[in-house]
Amino acid sequence: MKSKLVTCFVLSALFLAQGCSLSRHSSYSYDNEDEYAQYAAQKNGLSETFDELGYSPSKKLTEEEEQAVTKRLKLKKLEATLTEKEKKQYYGLKPYIENDDERISFLSLPTVESRERFAVQKGFFYKTKKLTPEVKQAIENGDIVVGMTREAVSDSWGDPEAVEVAGNRQFGNEKWTYIEYLTTSEGYQKEERVVIFEGGKVVGWRRYQ
């Protein structure tokens, strides 16, 4: 009961803040057969947020997961207000900022200069100098390319669901598996992504549905 009340409170606050209402649904988790719920979720950014966080829309969220969704929606709202100059600074640093709390803290600062000082203090600024332009662009786009390191893949796709090591770990020959839930014309579909590393760098990847 407590979890349901928390969910209702969070949703009410979010939809009031966005100038929207959703009286028929009191949880982030909704029935795939309910077309109205799907439409409302997509309209308010929930559908995309579920995809990004890897949450199944048919599973009831824990309080921790609800908080993660709330933070991600707040972050998206801040990102939507950025000027072109601010976007260039933020998206260049975003892959190196560890979590949504720090991204929100970064964007809550009032000026480009104060955000740059924040990036220097946290060490984000210096990380941007270590990657090739191609890899930086891939991370910004949420993609991966051949030759990316394990750290760069983590920056782009996050931590994998599973890691399999071939031989001695120090050789860097690994298989990383990711599980995502994607929005399609037929509803939500589970997708498995497998990334192959040799010598600690990406040599290929596959997608399964």
> What is the tens place of the pLDDT at every residue in 87-103?
888 888 887 888 899 99
> What is the tens place of the pLDDT at every residue in 29-74?
444 445 544 444 444 567 788 877 888 877 888 999 999 999 999 9
| pTM of the complete model | 0.48
Task: Sketch the domain layout of the chain as residue ranges.
Answer: 2-76, 82-127, 141-208
Cβ atoms of 135 and 152 closer than 8 Å: yes
CATH 3.30.1450.10 fits 141-208, yes or no: yes
- CA distance readout (Å), 44 to 18, 62, 85, 195: 8, 20, 26, 32
> What is the tens place of the pLDDT at every residue in 145-195?
998 988 889 888 888 999 999 888 778 899 999 988 877 777 778 889 999
| Angle, CA 126 vertex, CA 123 and CA 127 arms, to 5° | 90
> What is the tens place of the pLDDT at every residue in 132-147?
888 888 888 889 999 8
More confident residue, 188 or 23: 188
